[in-house]
Structure 1
């Protein structure tokens, strides 16, 4: 695997971080993107951890996690800026069952076997894409939709990288199994993260 041949961020230009008007429901959705269990903060913290523990034996994979974490930091910042514009306090928190809950490192799973570690990351990217696509459908603000779609494009790059890594490590069978999240690793998402009340 040649790091120089990988695309960590979609080459399309970023739309401006703007909104049409303030909306409490949209603000709650953006907060969930920065501080829920399925969030940019979870991805960043997990990828930093993954980079640290793989560095000695899988240097190129560690570098991939490091580079992807930097892209996720840009996503975190974009969602944070949207939260502010929408009238929310951009702490690392989200609305869960009608209450604000702070993000916690316990949101993440921490497998240490290399194949499981990459599979876990792939599943997280697929779940993030599903979440952002759902938000882009119900949020009726073309400017927020543009940002969501631009972030989805980056996440799709990350999916391809993790699939490539898995193909090199373990072959096609593991890639197919990675598309399904095991029962014990089911998402802890609530409806608030997709379409807040």
Structure 2
């Protein structure tokens, strides 16, 4: 219900590649990443539990899909020869932080606007990652994830239209 109705490609890679590990880690656990999206959607979902059940339930559903994306990316990182940790690159010097979550709960408008902008940023980053990876297996997974992210934008825009406009 919160992802498109298409199967996900098999998780595999052409070969181990340390350069690709860092590219996938950006999508895995940076400021624009699946891990960050899960944290932010969960925060927003809980914060809206009693004030807007429809939005809260939608954000919860989206975060579950993002968890699946995180799992797929983590498996790709392992197949590439890396560790699926919550750091920005394979050198493990910059770790993901809760400071990256946007805690602005001023209004439903602000929450939905932030979440829509973040989905657009994720899609842009996935496209940039695809352009740098010469592995049809990895790119197939990333392209499939983009389809879910585009669907999430539709869901969020629909909520914005219903509750803000």
TM-score class normalised by the smaller sequence: over 0.9
* Matched pairs, number: 164
Deviations 1:16-60 (A, max 9, x none): 000001111111111111111111111001111111110101001
Moved over 3 A (4+): none
CA displacement at 1:100 relative to structure 2: 2.6
Residue 33 of structure 1, aligned match among 24, 27, 30: 27
2:71 aligned partner = 77
Structure 1 residue runs without a partner (length 5+): 1-6, 172-197
Alpha-carbon RMSD: 1.3
1:108 aligned partner = 101
2:116 aligned partner = 122
Task: Pick the structure with more strand per residue.
Answer: 1
Residue 43 of structure 2, aligned match among 45, 49, 62: 49
CA displacement at 1:70 relative to structure 2: 0.2
Residue 146 of structure 2, aligned match among 152, 156, 174: 152
Deviations 1:75-101 (A, max 9, x none): 0001100000001111111129x7631
2:87 aligned partner = 93
- Report the secondary structure of 2:141's partner residue: helix
- Report the secondary structure of 1:77's partner residue: helix
2:134 aligned partner = 140
Structure 2 residue runs without a partner (length 5+): none
- 2:103, 2:59 → 1: CA distance? 14
TM-score, scaled relative to structure 2: 0.95
- Report the secondary structure of 2:94's partner residue: strand
TM-score, scaled relative to structure 1: 0.80
